[in-house]
Amino acid sequence: MAGLDHPRPGWDRFAHWRRGPAIVLLIVLAVLLALAALTPLTASMDGEVASVPALVAEDAAPKGEGRDSDLALYDRIIARVAKGENYYSVAVEEQRRGDYPVRPGLAVRLPTLAFLHAWLGGDILQGLSILLLGATAYAWWKRLGDEPGGARYRLIGATLMVLGGSSTINRYYFVLHEFWTGMLIALAFALHRPGRWHASLSVAAAALLLREHALPFVLLMAAMALWRRDWREGAAWALLTLIYAALLMVHLSTVAAYVGPQDPLGPTWLTLDGLSGWLSKIVLASNLRFLPHFIAGPLVLLMVFGWAGWKSDAGRTACLLYLGYALAFMIAGRANNFYWGAVVAPAMFVGLAFVPMATRSLARTALGRA
């Protein structure tokens, strides 16, 4: 821990930058923060303004009454699967009935979460959600303590992880695939260590079975392993990708058996919404939605900035991961797909712990005082 007393510890990335690049980044950051504060965050349902699902108790919102239409759709599918009906037949029928697209096949969710709801029920899932949140917070406590310079941030980091993931213990959201996927990705990320990756791989595989949106995380982990020349780990992540691709093809072929050319194609996911697309998805799918948009938007940028300021394996991976999803969300995802942000939002909050250090070091370097 002697490095903590060093005026410029190695894990403080921006303290070691040259002055020129620091000035450029400081200006870019200031401009982006101003744009984020001015960017409106909206959600719409096929062109019409739609409300973000409210935080209410399940009992206060009877299924199908006063409940978000997407969530009510999943409720109906789960109820019929619990009665023994075929998932694919039910899902396609209910989506047609609710004017939801069934083409392309990815418009029909993987059956994993519907089966879990049908088999376990809401009470058991409630307990599992609490255990998952606690395990993920503890895993981040451990990882922060294991990385250079992270020990001093482990308390605030674990607390921010709880804040970022707390929406997932609300039963109202249990039918949303993205909320469970996001928590599993956060746990897989926290469990990973170079050379110790088996638990992380297993949790990531579970995330993939819920939503294909977890695939970028798996691909990044494979790339990072290969960059470290850890061929065994890289091969494991690559094998997981290939197995999942095969399972996804089975899913798509099964969906195809229940749809026909008379079913219209859904609207494109390619929207090119830019900064608004990214910020809206993260804010509206997390607890940031309770803040005014001129505060919530800049906080999303600061999360990534904080991760970038921590020179460690976790900081580097997080920065690449969240910038990658940011680019994806700027390009793809309709306004009514804002819940996609829940796939990455939970662990993004941990980056706020490093913002004071990153800001101070970047400013001192830009001013020539480092």
Tens digits of residue pLDDT in 84-126: 999 999 999 999 999 999 999 999 999 999 999 999 998 999 9
> Which tokens is 278 given?
């990214």
Q: What is the identity of the amino acid at 259?
A: V
**Tens-digit pLDDT profile for the chain (370 aa)?**
334 445 688 899 999 999 999 999 999 999 999 999 998 877 643 334 344 444 334 444 444 445 788 899 999 999 999 999 999 999 999 999 999 999 999 999 999 999 999 999 989 999 999 999 999 999 999 999 999 999 999 999 999 999 999 989 999 889 999 999 999 999 999 999 998 999 999 999 999 999 999 999 999 999 999 999 999 999 999 999 999 999 999 999 999 999 988 988 888 888 888 999 999 999 999 999 999 989 999 999 999 999 999 999 999 999 999 999 999 999 998 888 889 999 999 999 999 999 999 999 999 999 988 6
Q: How far is CA 160 from CA 133, 188, 303, 340, in A?
A: 12, 17, 11, 20
Cα 194–chain centre separation:
22
Kindly report the pTM of this predicted structure: 0.91
Query: Using CA atoms, how far apart are residues 199 and 181, in angstroms rounded to an integer?
Result: 16
Cβ–Cβ < 8 Å for 266, 104: yes
